Structure 1
Amino acid sequence: MRVLMTVFANSSHLFNMVPLAWALTTAGHEVRIASQPDNAQAISDCGLTAVPVGNDLNIMELARSTPREEMANGGALTLNETRPEKLTWDYVHDTFAQHTQLYDYMADRAMTDELVEHARQWQPDLVIWDALTYAGPIAAEAVGVPHVRMLFGLDHWGRMRGIFHQLAAEQSPEDRHDPVADWLGAKGAPYGVAFDETLSTGRATLAVAPPWMGFPTELPTISMRHIPFNGPAVVPDWLRKPAHRPRICLTLGLTLREIADENVSLGDFVRAVADIDAEVVATFSEEQLAEIGELPDNVRPVDFVPLHALLPTCSALVHHGGGGTRTNAVMHGVPQLIVPNWLWDERDIAQRLAERGAALVTEVPDLTPERLREQLRRLLSDPSFQAAADEIQKEYAALPSPNATVAELERVAERDRTP
């Protein structure tokens, strides 16, 4: 069959889809990945076929220039809000109204026009769309083929849509305005596509986190083991040699820079690990290295190293809680110290891993050089963290692989095609 995958121009969201694209290809299916032109080279570098649609997105430049409060989940209205007392009708309604504007930017009219045009010309049998790329379901419905929403973490959108519908049922009919229906209805209208809820959540959802990490929903869901892909990579010479003492991966450069101030410098955090009996592999940019100055003897600075090659040699990982990084750690059974970001599900999954005993969690305001050193020593000295990480690793390995998931996607394509 022909499978059209689509994702907005962001490397981490693309890399989330790559192993499944390979699995579909090696099963004999023809796969194309459609994205904005500034993602085409990255797709090709992954050994896959790119279809440039729309205009360059330049999403990272936009992110660097946008204040946090104006970003998705960075302000007062967040899709990852889970406190019941906050989830009122007005809050949930207004959160969707705000986020539809942000998500429309990531898959705008120009991208949708060209994606629909390509789908009509190529006639795919199945569309798989990144969960933030809403040109995907429009194109699928425009040509009458099944479509699957592929998650990149926890399903905060699907969870919040369930809450929205529950709260809407409690409102008077004239007050049940649905900003998502307005948005996707208008987005689909030029192509003859009317709104129904599958435009929002897919005819099926492909979940890439173990069920115990997620939220209960009534959405039709296919579970798949997330195989982390870190992009094209070369294993450095030093990593091909055995480590002679415990190894720690520290990939907190941006967070450390954000919380360093006139009283605590970036160098203070790095020097805090100097007396730990471990090799610390730390990711820093040239600018950060210049600010730090002299490094402790046990710190190895790197600009980039493939985590799937590094983490099997590590006894601990310190990171933001991002999806690719934490999944690499879970897959390789590495205890984690997580300083969670706020972008999507970093705090939720960090807490779940901590509850299972495989991680420690420290919020950004609480991170000090002394706390970093103390928590790293706990991870290295207490064997319960490694035992818990090993148990989660076994559970994770039991989930269906991308190769095993292909058969389920074939059934979706056959069963749900519009006559």
Structure 2
Amino acid sequence: MRVLVTAALPSLLHPLVPLAWALRTAGHEVRVVGRPEVARAARTAGLVGVEAGDELTGAPWTAPGAAEAAAADPVVWTAGEPARAARVLAAHLPLLDHLTDDGVLEGVVTAARDWRPELVLWDAHALGGPVAARAVGAAQVRVLSGPDHWGRLVGSAVGGAEDGPDPLSAHLTARADRHGVACGTGRPVLGDATVDPLPGCLQHTQGLDHRPVRPVPYDGPAVFPAWLRKEPRRPRLLVTLGEPGLPAAPAAAGDPGPGVTVADVFAAVDALDVEVVATMDTGRIPPGTRIPHQVRLLDRLPAHLPLPYCAAVVHDGAPETLVTAALSGVPQLAIPGPRWGTAGVIDAVERAGAGLAADPAALGDQLTRLLEDPRLRSGAARLKEETAAGPSPRELVPGLEELAAGAAGRSADPSTPRPTTVTKGVRAA
């Protein structure tokens, strides 16, 4: 079986890599198609990369429409409000178009037409995946990297109507038409099935062919530091933060956010008898920030390496860090970062009894609780058990083979015949 994998960003490829490995070791051919940086990340992971389109210019969260998308946080809505859900979806369209622009979309579709995969795996932000699958009549499967905002919002936007219009599907269908692909009816943005590596407290299953999977942390190549093996003399705390200022959630989202900075975190740990491993881009630490003597500061260290040797973690609500912490069974203190959706992720951890949402007025007390409260340790242990209970990526392979076989008779889009050569813009990595 031929399997085409596509992702919008290298970081969004990471959750697909273990499943791609599982398919490859089962004897299937796998190619990863995406921007040059995605193709390079695939090659680093031991997979075949195919370039489509150009490198992404600028950080995705500073792209046109990103501010409007952040203000329309996909978590801040309630079921039964289809008009509001539709507005939130519409606010995210410019950002999704930026991640999968016309050059990338054309490149992914061309690669699919040239190679003819039977199965397309795509991260939920890579909207070239469902279009490419429709172009060749392949089965298509979304692989989530975070909570399924699109599934929840699409379901709410149509008010329960199975065939009602939703802005995301309508927008994708129109874009596909311009590239000569007829998406037909249904909801191409939700795939034939959805693979979900998140803990149950973050899963959305309604109306989906939902396939949970036990997450296998992957964050690119890494070297295990020897000092991690040494038993710490004091409790070891991991602090991993993506942005220096940790801006508050937008007021338009209904939550002003905690307003916690990197300096606040360092000041709080300075008063504790702990050993701290802090992973962040040192160039992003605000000038004048005092770094306590017990902090070991690293530019980069994948969280899955130090977490088994830590008593707790402080992070910025990134789903991948949450999942890795959950697998390690450590309590979490989460601070909403600049990406939308982190508030809902943090709320789910707190409800599960496995962590706390940051309170700037009580940060020191919260860190003490994180290290000493047996209830949080018990909650973290329960979350670990829940997260590890899913099937492994290898165990998902037979079901994916069946899905592809069931789509074998599906007609490819007849409007564009198979090209005899690979067109410009698609290059092997």
Bucket of the pairwise TM-score, normalised by the shorter protein: 0.7 to 0.9
Match of 1:69 in 2: 67
Q: Hey, what's the Cα distance between the residues in 1 that align with 2:75 and 2:286?
A: 36
SS at 2:185 equivalent: coil
SS at 2:276 equivalent: strand
Match of 1:222 in 2: 211
1:308 and 1:265, CA in 2 relative to 1: closer, same or farther beyond 3 A? closer
1:179 and 1:264, CA in 2 relative to 1: closer, same or farther beyond 3 A? closer
1:160 and 1:245, CA in 2 relative to 1: closer, same or farther beyond 3 A? same
Match of 2:202 in 1: 213
Match of 2:84 in 1: 91
Question: Is the CA contact (8 Å cut-off) linking 1:80 and 1:345 kept in structure 2?
Answer: yes
Comparing 329-338 with 282-291, greater Cα deviation is found at 282-291
- Within 5 Å, give how 1:220-299 maps onto structure 2: 220-252=209-241, 254-256=243-245, 258=247, 267=263, 269-287=265-283, 291-292=287-288, 295-299=291-295
Q: Hey, what's the Cα distance between the residues in 1 that align with 2:336 and 2:260?
A: 20
Task: Name the amino acid aligned to 2:11.
Answer: S
Question: Is the CA contact (8 Å cut-off) linking 1:155 and 1:215 kept in structure 2?
Answer: yes
SS at 2:122 equivalent: strand
Question: Is the CA contact (8 Å cut-off) linking 2:224 and 2:305 kept in structure 1?
Answer: yes
SS at 1:309 equivalent: coil
Comparing 51-60 with 313-322, greater Cα deviation is found at 51-60
Q: Hey, what's the Cα distance between the residues in 1 that align with 2:10 and 2:64?
A: 19
Match of 2:300 in 1: 304
Question: Is the CA contact (8 Å cut-off) linking 1:255 and 1:320 kept in structure 2?
Answer: no
- Within 5 Å, give how 1:365-380 maps onto structure 2: 366-368=359-361, 371-380=362-371
SS at 1:297 equivalent: coil
**1:182 paired to 2:170:** yes
TM-score, normalised with respect to structure 2: 0.85
- Shift of residue 225 of structure 1? 1.5
Question: Is the CA contact (8 Å cut-off) linking 1:267 and 1:293 kept in structure 2?
Answer: yes
Bigger helix share: 1
- Shift of residue 64 of structure 1? 4.4
- Shift of residue 283 of structure 1? 2.4
**1:17 paired to 2:16:** yes
Match of 2:392 in 1: 401
Match of 2:252 in 1: none
- Shift of residue 412 of structure 1? 0.7
Comparing 329-338 with 92-101, greater Cα deviation is found at 92-101
- Within 5 Å, give how 1:84-123 maps onto structure 2: 84=79, 88-123=81-116
Match of 1:195 in 2: 184
- Within 5 Å, give how 1:141-156 maps onto structure 2: 141-156=134-149
Task: State how many pairs are aligned.
Answer: 399
Task: Name the amino acid aligned to 1:350.
Answer: I
Question: Is the CA contact (8 Å cut-off) linking 1:188 and 1:195 kept in structure 2?
Answer: no
Match of 1:314 in 2: 310
- Shift of residue 380 of structure 1? 1.2
Encode CA deviations 1:197-218: one digit per residue, 9 max, x unaligned.
2312111111222334223411
Match of 2:121 in 1: 128
SS at 2:238 equivalent: strand
Q: Hey, what's the Cα distance between the residues in 1 that align with 2:193 and 2:267?
A: 49
1:294 and 1:50, CA in 2 relative to 1: closer, same or farther beyond 3 A? same
Q: Hey, what's the Cα distance between the residues in 1 that align with 2:119 and 2:199?
A: 24
- Shift of residue 224 of structure 1? 1.0
Task: Name the amino acid aligned to 1:205.
Answer: T
1:59 and 1:414, CA in 2 relative to 1: closer, same or farther beyond 3 A? farther
Match of 1:326 in 2: 322
1:276 and 1:67, CA in 2 relative to 1: closer, same or farther beyond 3 A? farther
Encode CA deviations 1:26-47: one digit per residue, 9 max, x unaligned.
1111111111123222221111
Question: Is the CA contact (8 Å cut-off) linking 1:184 and 1:195 kept in structure 2?
Answer: no
Question: Is the CA contact (8 Å cut-off) linking 1:4 and 1:124 kept in structure 2?
Answer: yes
SS at 1:128 equivalent: strand
Q: Hey, what's the Cα distance between the residues in 2 that align with 1:192 and 1:290?
A: 48
Gaps of at least 5 residues in structure 2 are: 249-258, 412-429
Question: Is the CA contact (8 Å cut-off) linking 1:3 and 1:31 kept in structure 2?
Answer: yes
Q: Hey, what's the Cα distance between the residues in 2 that align with 1:135 and 1:20?
A: 19
Task: Name the amino acid aligned to 2:375.
Answer: S
SS at 1:206 equivalent: strand
- Shift of residue 335 of structure 1? 0.4
Q: Hey, what's the Cα distance between the residues in 1 that align with 2:113 and 2:62?
A: 36
SS at 2:304 equivalent: helix
Question: Is the CA contact (8 Å cut-off) linking 2:147 and 2:198 kept in structure 1?
Answer: yes
- The sequence identity of aligned pairs, in percent, is 36
Task: Name the amino acid aligned to 2:172.
Answer: L
1:217 and 1:105, CA in 2 relative to 1: closer, same or farther beyond 3 A? same
Question: Is the CA contact (8 Å cut-off) linking 2:3 and 2:120 kept in structure 1?
Answer: yes
Q: Hey, what's the Cα distance between the residues in 2 that align with 1:268 and 1:187?
A: 45
Match of 2:7 in 1: 7
- Shift of residue 196 of structure 1? 2.0
Task: Name the amino acid aligned to 2:236.
Answer: R
Q: Hey, what's the Cα distance between the residues in 1 that align with 2:103 and 2:65?
A: 26
Question: Is the CA contact (8 Å cut-off) linking 1:234 and 1:306 kept in structure 2?
Answer: no
Match of 2:422 in 1: none
Q: Hey, what's the Cα distance between the residues in 1 that align with 2:216 and 2:135?
A: 31
Match of 2:419 in 1: none
1:116 and 1:68, CA in 2 relative to 1: closer, same or farther beyond 3 A? closer
